[in-house]
């Protein structure tokens, strides 16, 4: 089968389309003919070689999120899965391929009317947005800031906060055009990456959902209201300064909370329940997914160049067979 591996760590050109053995489903696993593959930020991090210390090697087959049709099941899996269209998490490898395997516990049938491109745009990121707001104890009427809102986590977080009755949903983004698109999804105030702009924006926020991290994180800690909650869910801008916690101590009397959040800490059954509900919402048009671009699988390097250039709004999807099952262009 066709697959994309990292021939050489570093630039996108180090990705190579190769002939790879078809994976055989082990006990508890499904084999899936992929229709759509999500291109995630973590794929770019692995490709750059940043995670070599964690055991990633050249030759690694990238990709963690696929949607397609089950073609075979492993030992112990109900045969009725065969032929079903599913979304699945494949771990940190195996997705950029014509066939993938995933544990049946990490797979979810797609509702009628949901495209595989939409599934890989929402499947992994939607639950992060949901549980981040949940862990932040977000309640109707509160003000929310989503930092790094133009990615697939932020796009869902903005919609969920708006739908949950937020008093205001501010976002950070790098351009007016992106700000307009985020307003269309439910943002009420648009700030630049430093948190400036949006003259009528609230001076403080009850909840901050931060996908960016990086050196400017303390600026946003300062924007918390008393009893405010700050959830760090990503580090696309790098690590924050080592002494950022000082800001919390200086503001001791505001009773602020800072937390990291990883969806790995949410029980799998809870993640699946939320994912299932979000898929149903997306199929009914009640939750929007943003597919930035749909590219053939063998153009994975182009997808990574776009990621590195910072031009992606939403998610890029790779398709082994362009045009199949209506997966042929951005939505
Ligand atoms: N917590 C979890 O359970 C979990 C699960 C999966 C992934 N993640 C993490 O979430 C992150 C990826 O999320 P995503 O796909 O939604 O994000 P993304 O698309 O990679 O980035 C979101 C937005 O952040 C802005 N941005 C990028 N670099 C920036 C910088 N240096 N400074 C300020 N803003 C910057 C960009 O928007 P603008 O250009 O518009 O500013 C970008 O579109 C990764 O860190 C990943 O490890 C976390």
In this predicted model, what pLDDT tens digit does every residue of 138-174 receive, in sequence order?
999 999 999 999 999 999 999 999 999 999 999 999 9
Q: Extract the tokens encoding 242.
A: 């080592």
214-233 tens-digit pLDDT: 999 999 999 999 999 999 99
Q: What is the mean pLDDT of residues 35-49?
A: 93
Are the C-beta atoms of 35 and 68 separated by less than 8 Å?
Answer: yes
The mean pLDDT of the chain is 95
Q: Is the pLDDT of residue 132 over 80?
A: yes
Q: Extract the tokens encoding 305.
A: 């160049």
Contacts of range 225-228, beta carbons closer than 8 Å, 24 or more positions apart: 225/143, 225/254, 226/254, 226/255, 226/256, 227/254, 227/255, 227/256, 228/204, 228/254, 228/256, 228/257
Does the pTM of the predicted model rise above 0.75? yes
Q: How far is the CA of 27 from the centre of ligand 1 (A)?
A: 35
Query: 151 CB under 6 A from ligand 1?
Result: yes
Helix (H) or strand (E) holding 278: helix 268-283
- pLDDT value, residue 331: 44
- pLDDT value, residue 39: 97
Q: Is the pLDDT of residue 275 over 50?
A: yes
Q: What is the mean pLDDT of residues 85-112?
A: 97
Measure the CA–CA gap between 75 and 73, rounded to whole angstroms: 7
Q: Would you say how long the chain is, in residues?
A: 331
Name the pairing type of β-strands 85-89 and 107-109: antiparallel
Q: Which domains does the chain have, with CATH numbers?
A: 2-109+290-319 (3.90.180.10), 125-264 (3.40.50.720)
Measured from the CA of 235, which atom of ligand 1 is nearest?
A: 45
Measure the CA–CA gap between 106 and 235, rounded to whole angstroms: 25
- pLDDT value, residue 321: 82
Mutate to test the pocket of ligand 1, among 129, 130, 234, 311 (most ligand atoms within 8 A of CB): 234
Q: How confident is the model at residue 50 (pLDDT cuts 50, 70, 90)?
A: confident
More confident residue, 200 or 84: 84
Q: How far is the CA of 151 from the centre of ligand 1 (A)?
A: 6
């Amino acid at each position: 089968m066709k697959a994309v591996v990292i021939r050489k760590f570093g630039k996108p050109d180090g990705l190579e389309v190769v002939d790879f053995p078809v994976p055989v489903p082990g006990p508890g696993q499904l084999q899936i003919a992929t229709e759509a593959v999500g291109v995630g930020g973590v794929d770019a991090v692995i490709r750059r070689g940043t995670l070599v210390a964690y055991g990633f090697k050249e030759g690694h087959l990238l990709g963690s999120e696929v949607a397609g049709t089950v073609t075979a099941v492993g030992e112990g899996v109900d045969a009725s899965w065969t032929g079903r269209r599913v979304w699945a998490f494949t771990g940190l490898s195996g997705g950029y391929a014509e066939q993938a395997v995933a544990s049946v516990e990490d797979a979810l049938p797609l509702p009628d009317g949901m495209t595989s491109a939409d599934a890989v745009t929402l499947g992994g990121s939607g639950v992060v947005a949901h549980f981040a707001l949940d862990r932040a104890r977000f309640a109707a009427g509160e003000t929310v800031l989503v930092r790094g809102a133009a990615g697939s986590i932020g796009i869902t977080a903005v919609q969920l906060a708006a739908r949950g009755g937020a008093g205001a949903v501010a976002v950070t983004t790098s351009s007016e055009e992106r700000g307009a698109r985020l307003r269309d999804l439910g943002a009420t105030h648009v700030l630049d990456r430093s948190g400036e702009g949006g003259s009528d924006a609230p001076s403080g926020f009850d909840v901050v959902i931060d996908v960016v991290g990086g050196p400017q994180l303390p600026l946003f800690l300062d924007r918390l209201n008393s009893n405010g909650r700050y959830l760090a869910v990503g580090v696309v801008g790098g690590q924050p300064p080592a002494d950022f916690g000082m800001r919390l101590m200086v503001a001791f009397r505001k009773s602020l909370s800072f937390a990291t959040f990883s969806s790995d800490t949410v029980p799998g059954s809870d993640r699946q329940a939320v994912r299932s509900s979000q898929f149903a919402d997306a199929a009914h048009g009640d939750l929007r997914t943003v597919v930035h671009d749909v590219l053939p699988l063998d153009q994975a390097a182009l997808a990574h160049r776009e990621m590195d250039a910072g031009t992606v709004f939403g998610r890029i999807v790779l398709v082994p067979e362009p045009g199949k099952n209506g997966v042929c262009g951005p939505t």
